Amino acid sequence: MAAHLSVAVERWPLANVFTIARGSKTEAVVVVAEISRDGRTGRGECVPYARYGETVEGVVAAIEAQRPAIEAGLDRSALQDLVPAGAARNAIDCALWDLEAKLAGQPAWRLAGLAEPAAAVTAYTLSLGEPEAMAEAAAKAAHRPLLKVKLGTPDDASRIAAVRRHAPQSQLIIDANEGWRADNLAANLRACAEAGVTLIEQPLPASDDAALAEVERIVPVCADESLHDRASLAKLAGRYDAINIKLDKAGGLTEAIALARQAQALKLDLMIGCMVGTSLAMAPALLLAGQARVIDLDGPLLLARDREPGLRYEGSTVWPPEPSLWG
């Protein structure tokens, strides 16, 4: 029986304005690909990201361009050669994984040769704001064991200190979203060290991160915008201690699994991250959670509402997906 592809754009309001160094947003705009065959349907969700030159319209067009191949029986292996890494390939790849699992009557983690996923603690993200506002947000979230703090201003030291004062027991991840520069890198690293920060994500622009090889990294540094798929790994040597694997960057779970293995062989720690999306986008990434030092899959916690059925979240603990959602 021939496969059938459908593509939809969905808008999910956020619970609060979400701000990073590049700007603010009030909704998550996602693209969902559904591939049906033999009475089963697999789904994959992606989040087009302007930082990587993506638009919603462009991602939809890229998925639609593969309709003939998909409906003729495209498999995940061939997909890797047809579509470049990015959001469009992620949606197709995850839909194919989901469909394969449903047709086989087997969980996706078993088909992938991975360990069975377990409940995991995810980071919870604090938006960028004035120090007082971030201190207030930190106080409200201080019961959470792991907080991710968005930064990227000329006065980040005061924000780091404010968050630490109001969330004294939480582990902190700092995400500068390329907002620091070589001339303030060392001072910001010291501020992070003084606050007992666990990890710093992408402090410098991806195009100008050579200074990371010249400075003492007194807090481990994680590549985000500098790392997409396995082709990005070679240039990270000496600059980073960890990588943030996001399925939307890697182009799906297939590449993410291979990327995780190669990065671990290079002695890089893993962070499993996400764009702001629904539980459908988080579910495939949870298959890699057991290999990661840090998990940042809090997208649904930032939404005004999640899709039903969604992932089960209790506080900062997230459970693996049920087959009715994905995989």
User: Is the preceding omega at residue 309 within 30 degrees of 0, hence cis?
Assistant: yes
Residue 18 pLDDT: 84
pLDDT greater than 90 at residue 206: yes
CATH assignment of the domain containing 218: 3.20.20.120
Q: How far apart are CA 253 and CA 112, in angstroms?
A: 9
* Residue range of the domain that includes 151: 120-318
Q: Is there a domain that residue 115 lies in?
A: no
Determine contact, residues 270/242, Cβ cutoff 8 Å. Answer: yes
N- to C-terminal Cα separation, the chain: 21
* Residue 76, CB-side half-sphere exposure with 13 Å CA sphere: 22
User: Which pLDDT band holds residue 321 (cuts at 50, 70, 90)?
Assistant: very high
For the segment 259-287, what is each residue's pLDDT rounded down to a tens digit?
999 999 999 999 999 999 999 999 999 99
Q: Are 164 and 293 found together in one domain?
A: yes
pLDDT greater than 80 at residue 180: yes
Q: Is there a domain that residue 269 lies in?
A: yes
Residue positions annotated with a catalytic role: 150, 246
For residue 85 the two structure tokens come to 């890494």
For the segment 11-47, what is each residue's pLDDT rounded down to a tens digit?
999 998 888 877 888 999 999 999 999 999 999 999 9
Q: Are 12 and 70 found together in one domain?
A: yes
Q: Are 252 and 139 found together in one domain?
A: yes
Q: Is there a domain that residue 211 lies in?
A: yes
Task: Tell me the sheet residues that pair with 30.
Answer: 10
Residue 48 pLDDT: 98
This prediction's pTM? 0.95
Q: How far apart are CA 45 and CA 245, in angstroms?
A: 16
Q: What percent of the chain has pLDDT over 70?
A: 100
Q: Are 156 and 213 found together in one domain?
A: yes
